[in-house]
Structure 1
Amino acid sequence: MIEASPRIQRLERGLFYAFLALLFWLPIPLGSHRPWAWSLVEVWAFALLGGWLVVNAYAPRLHSLRPYAPLLGLFALFQLWVGLQVLPLPIGWLEAISPERAAHFLAADPAIATGTLSLDPNQTRIGLLKGLSYWCLLFLALALVNTSRRLKLAALVIVITGTFQAFYGVLLALSGSETTWLLGFPNSDIATGGFRYKNHFGNFLVLCLCFGTGLLIASLSRKRAGSVREFLRGALATLMNGKAVVRLCLAMMVIGLVMSHSRMPNTAFFVSLSITGVLGLLLIRKKSRSLTVLLASLLAIDMFIVGSWFGLERVKNKLENTSFTQETRDEVVRDGLGLIEQYPLAGTGGGGFYSAFPMVKGPDIQQYYDLAHNDYLQFAIEFGLPATLLLGVAVLWSLALAFSALRQRRDSLMQGMAFAAVMAIIAELIMLLTDFHLQAPATAIYFLLCLALAWQARFMQVEK
């Protein structure tokens, strides 16, 4: 790598801190799930990428991203497909790719020469621009978070962000205020933080909890205590350094998660922690007794003490009392499969679910569904099966690399970050079954960071 001038080095550092500031900002304005909020994210992301290209022009460093090329390439191909969905294509091509869509155009005008794969090109263009900004942030996460020191700092910022959201959400829920302190939305005893939807808030906290758990594991001593005195000395050192603060942050986030009364995020957190904990004990080499103690305490303290004080019993009761006869999400899945049968290859176009679903909705669904409440289903409907499988490859490849890092890396930080990535991916795969988490920019971008983390844990060089 060419040695950069001091000015370029300052610019590159400024871009890194601006990237961290964006991570903190993302959940604040309703999870960035409003047009003005995601427009700001897009401008922020494109500006950061432009700044990085300037840095690269003076001090080329693109070659350092070679290990991450498959991940970036898979998501770039996906965005290329979304762009194709809004391009006017010859009607003959349209008949080959999406016969149903071509038949719709020909029925309206037999002489028509071109048409789009998307049922709602305007919404697909909005989704394309949003997706390009996501790709930019994925690229920047890999390009700017390029040392173990920066990786640890980025993880700390994510933990601080989650803690701030949990604290604000819990404080607002306990305040008794009829409206939220910002923007004046109706308030209740359910914690939502900067989000409007409790499940998005719960999903976001789960991802932040994964980063915090990874940091704790990275900070564990690899030395075995030879005596009770050494064990007590190590415990005292834990209280005096940053590990105790991170542990308190995790406790605050668990309180927020439980007070969200969100069933699937609560379930996904404890299931993913249990599964990844067992895998960690099996895969991590030279593990200490403190790792087992930490994982046991995370489950026991968070579930039984914090949960009993702040409403875990209520969440448990909601899970037990849930009746599928009271909800129509399973009917949405049933009818949505009909759209996949009609548009298996091309999909209906990004953002096209709300306009396509009324065509297949059964009479037993009285509610209006603009989203599928199942991201697997929605992605398959909007983007088609091949594009959805492409995303699945990216996610499963990342999970496999995180497993590999957990077993092969010797550096404690990389082991901890691999643990975080495995836990986050497992949790997200569970949560996507029952809601539209990836439709909210804050949670979608944080999940991309988790995928990037898996690759960094496997390939990042550790400074000597």
Structure 2
Amino acid sequence: MPRASRSTSRFTLFAEASLAALVVVCPVALGGAASWLLWPLVTLSGAAAVLAAIGARRQGQSLRVPLLAVPLAVGAGLCAVQLVPLPASVLQVLSPEAAALREFVLVPLGLERARPISLDPSATWRELAKHLAYLLAFLATVQVCRARGSRERLLAAVALTGAGLSVVGLGHALLGVKSLFGVMPWVHAQPPLVTPFGNPNHLAGFLGLASTVGVGLAFTRRHQARAWPYALAAGASGLGVVMSLSRGGIAFFVFGQALLALLLLRRRHTSGEGASPVWARSAAALLGLLAVLMVGAYTVADGLWAEARTADSVEKLRQSKVALWPMMAEAARAFPLLGMGRGAFEAAFPRYQSEPNPNTLTHPENAVLQAAAELGALGLVLLAVAVWGFLRLLRREGLETLDLAALAGVAALGLHDVFDFSLELPACAVAALVVLGAVARPRERASEDPAWCLKPSVRVMVLGPVLTAVALVALVPGRHRLGDAEAELVTWVTSGASAHEAHARGLELVDRHPADYLLYRLMASAHAARGREGAGEALALVNRALYLAPLDASSHRVAARALLALGRSGQAFLEYRLAHEAGDVSVLLSEALPQARTLASLTVLTPEVPATAVRLLDSLVNTPGRVELALDYAHWARAHFAGQPEVAALWGREARLRIVQGNLEAAEAAWVEVERLAPDVLDTYLLRAEVLRAQGRRDEALQSLERLLARFPGNVALSFQLASQQLDAGLTRRARDTLQALAPFITDYAQRARLLSLEASCLEREGLLSRALERRQTAARLVPGADAYFAVARTQETLRRYDAAARSVHEGMRHLPASARTEARAWAARLEAAERERVESRRKTLTDDPRAEELEYLLRGHPDVDGEARDAR
């Protein structure tokens, strides 16, 4: 018997076991996202390649290298080229952007050594290791799958792993467990189906491939008893796809099943076969899978409908991740030749981001843009070669039903990656390569295979261990991750270390991750905390952060603080404005506006958005002592935004300011302008009622509001104003009726708190102080604030509960700036003194009157006495 026909070598079986372990371990390791996974990935891939080569040598077989191995091998070579440190002149030719980063950002910091093309070398080292591991795993699969049994067992590992993940997800759903196995909660993800995959799109991609492979395995079993396990596995994985609620995953999974049906139909017609049992069984299996999908869709119909509504129009689709593609294409165009470095997209992309986005974009979520950005034009060539190799494989003669199913699953996964990045993580990538390797196995007629044939000589045998060793060595510098560096520097800055120590450590981290803007910003913030002394250094560093991420709002805020420390207020307020335009919606009101003292500062601070000017004016109006500045700002804003709809709101704010000042003539003139600009708006009528009330025409104002309520029943603002005026007019019962009718229309805590406050005022007018106190306390808990707690304190003081009132005043002071607490401290001191006097008077009474103890005992059960005693304590 020839040596090639002997039974499978045990080394080949060991290689098969290594590949099967890879297929299982990668999804279990958090869908391939676990940082420790690369070590077992390289080790198992290298072991599989070496063992497969030994098995081939023992069986007298040649080693085949399919065309699909070329993109993996050349991609690894490109990663290595991107890691070579280059002189500045050479770097300028090959990557002008990398050279500019070196000259502007790194050289002034003293980091003058030669730099590679990659903008994040650590990430590129990891990608080099991954490419080599993928290449070794693919070649090992091609060799192992010569044997039909090994081929079917490896594909069964893919199908059954998918089914196992679905069962895990269904178990979590049935038990209502939201954390993985009840011990590991997802922090930055909330997957609808709880599995080791945190990203539902990646889960759907893996399960879609597993389900399609399972269908193919069910087709190849002639005995029904052997087909059922794979049919069930395919159904379970398909159900998992639907329950993942991934729109793209579901759509491309359905596409994969349709493609498989078309391939089977085409083969039936081209082979000239009749209605064979295989075809009938295939149709039945596909129909059964369709039934499973329909059941799953019915089970999660609400979730699917919610997902569908987020993309129910072309405009909404345009505003989704597809809207980011032009920005990412611009980033790719900046690196036309060799790219920005494989894996460097997360660090490098913020420089080219033209629109603010609260999320960190780690991948373009488009395979074409990923290749173009990270590998340049050569990356697109490699992608084209991979597609060509796949099409050659699809057109191969003699493909079995299992092969067609495998190719349909990979095609669906690959097309899904035009809108996702599943193949960037090892879970889906390894599964796809194993499935492709099973189809790309050598045929008996070698001349038909688009592959190279290598004899398993000693030199070839050494190649596997060498590539494995290179991949393992690459993981050593690749162990430094961007997120770890950022977290470490945050610890240095916030742990009390000096700015110079944080700066020194920051430079070490910048040397590893030169394009990470956050490292420069953290160093800048450490220096900015030193005030004027560190402001110059902070500005130098934050300028580099803004060079790398022009839309980083926090960097603009740090720059503003440093400029204020240097006394350059004009530039500082411009930076605050840029921070707001970059997405920091709170910076203007919380930090910038309190420091603006002049109209010129406010004009610099105001973006070209009238609604923001209205919010700034509202904040000025509500700040004590800034009424005149608010009036000047309102005049400027009206002129600046003339002709825009928000001008009516600016006139309205001025009218209310004039009412506060007592300038009723100017207030009425402002109302006339509001009526001219917005005659049919409810706020115009409300403003008119306020003007009438300020002019002393209370009855007329009250009647106008009551007529308006008939036109706008349930309007919250109108009802509140009407109830306030009814209360001021002494119409307590009518005010309570108005508030009671409003209760069903309350929608948030702020409205509920105001309703309770007005009800409390009504109860106080009626002398029901205890019930009023309960409502004021509830309002303070709903919307904590100084005014809310001070209202509670006033009611408690009226009830002579001085100790409790003092505590409420102290609670309210926590919500005031330190400069505005003087009057509150005096009030609290007066209350505490009254409490001490009351306690002392009571003690003296108990001491002087011998019957006081008996009276105290008899009155101990009285509720008012008990309440007063509890408040005193």
Q: TM-score, normalised by structure 1?
A: 0.83
Per-residue Cα deviation, 1:202-238 (whole angstroms, up to 9, x for no partner): 1110111121122123336xxxxxxxxxxxxxxxx62
Match of 2:211 among 209, 212, 221: 209
Q: Give the superposition deviation at 1:56.
A: 5.4
Tell me if structure 2 keeps the 8 A contact 1:12–1:55: yes
Distance 1:366 1:314, change over 3 A: closer
Distance 1:161 1:178, change over 3 A: closer
Aligned position for 2:196? 194
Instruction: Please list, as runs of the form range in 1=range in 2, the aligned pairs for 1:301-450 lying within 5 A after superposition.
Output: 301-308=291-298, 310-312=299-301, 314-322=303-311, 328-402=320-394, 404-405=395-396, 408-409=397-398, 414-450=399-435
Q: Give the superposition deviation at 1:357.
A: 1.0
For residues 10 and 275 of structure 1, the distance between their equivalents in structure 2, rounded to whole angstroms, comes to 37
Tell me if structure 1 keeps the 8 A contact 2:82–2:117: yes
Q: Give the superposition deviation at 1:275.
A: 2.7
Distance 1:442 1:112, change over 3 A: same
Larger radius of gyration: 2
2:151 counterpart of 1:167 = no
Moved more, 101-110 or 375-384: 101-110
Per-residue Cα deviation, 1:8-57 (whole angstroms, up to 9, x for no partner): 93333223223223222221121231111222222222233333455456
Moved more, 75-84 or 427-436: 427-436
**Secondary structure of 1:380's match?**
helix
Instruction: Please list, as runs of the form range in 1=range in 2, the aligned pairs for 1:1-16 lying within 5 A after superposition.
Output: 3=3, 9-16=9-16
2:143 counterpart of 1:143 = yes
For residues 248 and 461 of structure 1, the distance between their equivalents in structure 2, rounded to whole angstroms, comes to 35
Counterpart of 2:310, as a letter, is: N
For residues 147 and 58 of structure 1, the distance between their equivalents in structure 2, rounded to whole angstroms, comes to 14
Per-residue Cα deviation, 1:376-409 (whole angstroms, up to 9, x for no partner): 322221111322331332233223322x24xx31
Instruction: Please list, as runs of the form range in 1=range in 2, the aligned pairs for 1:251-330 lying within 5 A after superposition.
Output: 251-284=235-268, 285=271, 286=273, 288=276, 289-290=279-280, 293-294=283-284, 296-298=286-288, 300-308=290-298, 310-312=299-301, 314-322=303-311, 328-330=320-322
Distance 1:459 1:430, change over 3 A: same
For residues 92 and 298 of structure 1, the distance between their equivalents in structure 2, rounded to whole angstroms, comes to 64
Aligned position for 1:227? none
Tell me if structure 1 keeps the 8 A contact 2:124–2:341: yes
Q: Give the superposition deviation at 1:247.
A: 1.3
Counterpart of 1:384, as a letter, is: G
Moved more, 13-22 or 289-298: 289-298
Per-residue Cα deviation, 1:315-344 (whole angstroms, up to 9, x for no partner): 255224326659652332121111111102
Q: Give the superposition deviation at 1:367.
A: 2.4
Counterpart of 1:329, as a letter, is: K
Tell me if structure 2 keeps the 8 A contact 1:76–1:135: yes
Moved more, 167-176 or 326-335: 326-335
Distance 1:28 1:262, change over 3 A: same
Aligned position for 2:97? 100
**Secondary structure of 1:459's match?**
coil
Tell me if structure 1 keeps the 8 A contact 2:169–2:195: yes
Tell me if structure 1 keeps the 8 A contact 2:310–2:316: no
Moved more, 47-56 or 436-445: 47-56
Instruction: Please list, as runs of the form range in 1=range in 2, the aligned pairs for 1:229-244 lying within 5 A after superposition.
Output: 238=224, 241-244=225-228
For residues 455 and 134 of structure 1, the distance between their equivalents in structure 2, rounded to whole angstroms, comes to 15
Tell me if structure 1 keeps the 8 A contact 2:211–2:234: yes
For residues 333 and 183 of structure 1, the distance between their equivalents in structure 2, rounded to whole angstroms, comes to 38
Counterpart of 2:280, as a letter, is: S
Counterpart of 1:249, as a letter, is: A
Tell me if structure 2 keeps the 8 A contact 1:176–1:188: no
For residues 104 and 276 of structure 1, the distance between their equivalents in structure 2, rounded to whole angstroms, comes to 49
Moved more, 35-44 or 48-57: 48-57
Q: Give the superposition deviation at 1:109.
A: 4.9
For residues 312 and 246 of structure 1, the distance between their equivalents in structure 2, rounded to whole angstroms, comes to 26
Between the two structures, name the one with larger relative contact order (CA 8 Å, sep ≥ 6): 1
Distance 1:179 1:351, change over 3 A: same
Point out where structure 1 has 5 or more consecutive residues left out of the alignment: 221-236
Aligned position for 1:87? 84
Distance 1:279 1:12, change over 3 A: closer
Q: Give the superposition deviation at 1:281.
A: 0.2
Q: Give the superposition deviation at 1:83.
A: 1.0
For residues 273 and 373 of structure 1, the distance between their equivalents in structure 2, rounded to whole angstroms, comes to 23
Counterpart of 1:297, as a letter, is: L
Aligned position for 1:248? 232
Q: TM-score, normalised by structure 2?
A: 0.46
For residues 460 and 316 of structure 1, the distance between their equivalents in structure 2, rounded to whole angstroms, comes to 51
Moved more, 389-398 or 429-438: 389-398
Aligned position for 1:231? none
Distance 1:317 1:430, change over 3 A: farther
Question: How high is the sequence identity, in percent, across the aligned residues?
Answer: 21
Distance 1:449 1:58, change over 3 A: closer
Distance 1:334 1:378, change over 3 A: same
Per-residue Cα deviation, 1:343-386 (whole angstroms, up to 9, x for no partner): 02211101111111110112342322122222332222111132
Tell me if structure 1 keeps the 8 A contact 2:407–2:436: no
**Secondary structure of 2:355's match?**
coil
For residues 67 and 90 of structure 2, the distance between their equivalents in structure 1, rounded to whole angstroms, comes to 29
**Secondary structure of 2:68's match?**
helix
Aligned position for 2:75? 78
For residues 453 and 13 of structure 1, the distance between their equivalents in structure 2, rounded to whole angstroms, comes to 15
Aligned position for 1:229? none
Aligned position for 1:130? 130
Q: Give the superposition deviation at 1:282.
A: 1.7
Per-residue Cα deviation, 1:115-160 (whole angstroms, up to 9, x for no partner): 3111111110111112211111111111222212211121122211
Counterpart of 2:70, as a letter, is: G
Q: Give the superposition deviation at 1:90.
A: 4.1
Distance 1:426 1:122, change over 3 A: same
Per-residue Cα deviation, 1:267-290 (whole angstroms, up to 9, x for no partner): 101122113312320234226240
Taking only aligned residues, the RMSD between alpha carbons, in angstroms, comes to 3.1
Aligned residue-pair number: 431
